[in-house]
Every structure is written in structure tokens, then in C-alpha cells.
Amino acid sequence: MPYSDKVLDHYNNPRNVGSFDAKDPTVGTGLVGAPECGDVMKLQIKVNPDTGVIEDARFKTFGCGSAIASSSLATEWLKGKTVDEALAIKNTEIVEELALPPVKVHCSVLAEDAIKAALKNYQEKQDVDETIGETTEKIAKPEPAGV
């Protein structure tokens, strides 16, 4: 199965690989997938608390080239969006942008899940901040502590 040029580009030159401190209250972390399924994505956003705009994003992915490309693309798209705008990103847009074949659609679904999980984690931190007035380490998915 030949890969599209865009998948190859993201695979060979992945954007925004890396990690933020998951304990940072301005960071939202999403960890989705499972090693035994062959795909795990960790996607993180760093939000400007004053503007609500995602200023930076990072990912790390265990998976095939299409999974790596989907998460790399997701970090590019997240930057500069507000949390609400980011919630509107659909996996079908990723499929279209990367020209993913049907057997790779699940990679885009996982990327959308990772985005949603990261946003949810960030929002939960804000909700807790508002009600309790302190930061929390609560996270949507099991937290990769210390990473």
C-alpha cells in the first residue's frame, strides 16, 4: 500500500514531537490507544489561560506511519485554535488531509480521540481550579506521571 506524500512528510519530519509537564495547570494531556492494539498516542496542549488559545502542542506516538502522521498533523492544527475551535476538529478532516486509505481511518479516529482527551483534561483542570482554587493532577486517562 503506497503512502501519500503528506503521510511520508509527517513521518519523516514529524512536527512537535515531545512532552510538556503534565502537572502544569495550563497543559492538557490525552493518552489514548493501547499497546496490545498497536497504537498509543499521547497528545498535549498548552493553553494561554488569559486568551483560551492553544499556544503550543506536543505528541508522542507508538504506531504505524499513518498514526504518527495523524498525531503530528493534529498538533499543527491545534496551535492557534481556542479550546472550542479545537473541539470541532473531526477525524474525517485528517483522513482527507493525509489521504488515508480505509484501513488507516482508525489512525485518524485515534488522533481525534487524543485531541478530545487532551481538551477534556485541560478543562477538568480549569473546573477544579475554579471550584477548589488549586491545581490538580487529575487527568482524563491514566497519567504518564513525570513525563
Partner 1 sequence: MTQMPIYMDNNATTRTDPRVVEAMLPYFTEKYGNAASRNHPFGWAAEEAGEAARGQIAGIIGASAKEVIFTSGATESSNLAIKGVAAMYKKKGNHVVTQATEHKATLDTCKRLERDGFQVTYLPVDKFGQVHAEQIREALTDKTILVSIMAANNEIGSLQPIRDIGKLCKEKGVLFHTDAVQAVGKVPLDVEDMGVDLLSLSGHKIYGPKGLGALYVRKKDPRVRLEPQIDGGGHERGMRSGTLPVPLIVGLGVACEIAKNEMATEVAHTYKLRERLREGIMSKLPESYLNGHPTERLPGNANISFAYVEGEGLMMGIKDVAVSSGSACTSASLEPSYVLRALGVGDELAHSSIRFGLGRFNTEAEVDFVIELVVREVNRLREMSPLYEMVQAGIDIKKIEWASH
| Contacts to partner 1 by CB under 8 A | 3, 8, 11, 14, 17, 19, 31-42, 60-65, 67-68, 103, 106, 109-110, 113, 141-142, 144-147
Our answer to whether residue 37 is catalytic in this structure is yes
Report the candidate in 74, 63, 89 with the shortest Cα–Cα distance to residue 15.
74
What is the rounded CA–CA span in Å between residue 6 and residue 75?
15
Q: Exactly one of 54, 107, 110, 140 is catalytic; name it.
A: 107
How far apart, in whole angstroms, are the C-alpha atoms of residue 105 and residue 94? Answer: 9
Catalytic residue at 64? no
C-alpha cell at 144: 504518564
Question: Nearest approach, Cβ of 62 to partner 1 (angstroms)?
Answer: 5
Least distance from partner 1 to the Cβ atom of residue 136, Å: 20
By beta-carbon proximity to partner 1, the closer residue of 6 and 53 is 6
Beta bridge partners of 45: 28, 57
